[in-house]
Amino acid sequence: MCGEKSRRSGLIFYQLPPFKKAEKMQSPYAITPAATPVYAPLAILLHWILAVLIISMIALGWFMTAIEDDPGSAWYFRLHKSIGLIIAGLVLLRLVWRLGHQPAPLPASIARWQVSASKAGHGLLYAAMVAMPFFGIVGSMLSDKDFLFFGIPLPRVFQPNHDLAEIFFEAHSVTTWILVGLISLHALAGLKHLVIDKDGVFQRMWFSRQGPHHGP
């Protein structure tokens, strides 16, 4: 037997060492919330606001083109243009923020090709988010119809040019489909990190207060 022995009334007692609860072992490869930098609150807020607005606008665009010849469809087109201006402003704000706040590096466990693919995907996403509202806004300014922002007339920058306006609207439509593909890949990659890899990458852009803040 182990432990300390003591004599009481001629009897020998063995005093066992205090029982220590076994500590839970943690894998050295596990990424703890404190070790995973999260994006700044403004970056997270802009990310999800733009995600909701852009997806809603794409759905609205498909709906309004399907009822283009129906009575009352002009209201949906005016709403689409007004929200498009808001999206353009938020994308510009997001870009300005990104230039001043570089993102934290991805975990070292992620393969190099995935890191490169992530950088390329984000670059294409930003390019498409800039191009889509740009083409739509310029096309609206070239149209012979009034360009309103929630009922407020905006100054006309260009002389009406129907043929040129149609070119920009077509570019707007093509960019929308490109953005749909990029958003789908972006969402699938995020779900992969959340469900399969469980490496904390998804949580960096979620509404969490765990982990140090890091731009953008």
CATH fold for the domain made of 40-206: Fumarate Reductase Cytochrome B subunit (1.20.950)
Under a CB-based contact definition with an 8 Å cutoff, are residues 210 and 34 in contact?
yes
User: Domain coordinates of the chain in residue numbers?
Assistant: 40-206
Which 8-state DSSP code applies to residue 154? P
Token reading at 58: 């794409």
Under a CB-based contact definition with an 8 Å cutoff, are residues 60 and 48 in contact?
no
Residue with tokens 């991805």: 106
Average pLDDT score over residue span 49-71: 94
**What is the Cα–Cα distance from 90 to 127, expressed in whole angstroms?**
14
Q: Helix crossing, 162-191 with 41-66: angle to 10°?
A: 130
pLDDT value of residue 33: 41
Q: pLDDT: is 1 or 124 the higher one?
A: 124
Condensed to tens digits (0 to 9), the pLDDT of residues 73-112 reads 999 999 999 999 999 999 999 999 988 888 778 888 888 9
